[in-house]
Amino acid sequence: MFDGRFRRSVEVVTTPIGRGLVRAGFSADVLTGSGLVFACATAWAIAVGLHWGAIGLLTLTGFHDLFDGPVAKASHRVSQRGSFFDSVVDRVSDAVLMGGVAYYLTAHHHGQLVLLPFGIVTASFLISYQRSKAESLGLSAKGGLMERAERMILLGVGLLTSAIFVPVLWVMLALTTMTALGRFARVWRAADRPTPVEPRFHPRREHVRRRRTLSRASRH
């Protein structure tokens, strides 16, 4: 949702901060890499039950993820390699965070609740894959109710108290699944539209057409 509907509003704030970070000597790759370090620290804090500390670390993780793009633009170093690096690190961070959640659930709860973070990370990976595949086909697949930023915010809400942690995870799973299904439906409808076919160029036919045109012109 932030990536689609509110991106311009967010960029009004992040763009000048990105310029300031560039002047301070930060690079996009450094922010992306250090964001993964904070994600690992957040996962550890969640796993051992230090949830208030995890909220602070999760905030720092989100800060790095939010500003690596504006820093790349401000430094005029937007590249395919940087975009690829950022996408891979985001997926690793998501998996690490849900790994910390799974460890905590294994230690403090009974039953099969460990499958809950597994379902969340599977649905989130499906969302990102759908966007990547759609864009490779020339289709748009941005937006949705529960993208990465929203998942991190909701996870932070769940960390406020252990009483709501598991219910919030269920809500996250439901909304993430709905987002994946909604994105699939949008791309499916867009892909069903007929693709305009450009006429193929035939050198011999073009040569004949030109000869006929010149012949007609000489008659007049």
pTM above 0.85, yes or no: no
Count the alpha carbons within 13 Å of 115 in the hemisphere toward its beta carbon.
2
Catalytic residues, by residue number, are 90
Distance CA 141, CA 130 (A): 7
Residue 199 has pLDDT above 60, yes or no: no
Average pLDDT taken over every residue of the chain: 84
202 or 50, higher pLDDT: 50
Using alpha carbons, list the distances in angstroms from residue 24 to 17, 55, 61.
10, 26, 19
2 or 185, higher pLDDT: 185
Q: What is the DSSP letter of 183?
A: H
Superfamily grouping for domain 7-194: CDP-alcohol phosphotransferase transmembrane (TM) domain (1.20.120.1760)
Residue 100 has pLDDT above 50, yes or no: yes
Residue 29 has pLDDT above 60, yes or no: yes
Token pair for 216:
């007609």
Residue 195 has pLDDT above 70, yes or no: no
Alpha carbon 163 to chain centroid distance? 29
Which pLDDT tens digit goes with each residue over 2-25?
555 556 666 777 788 888 888 888
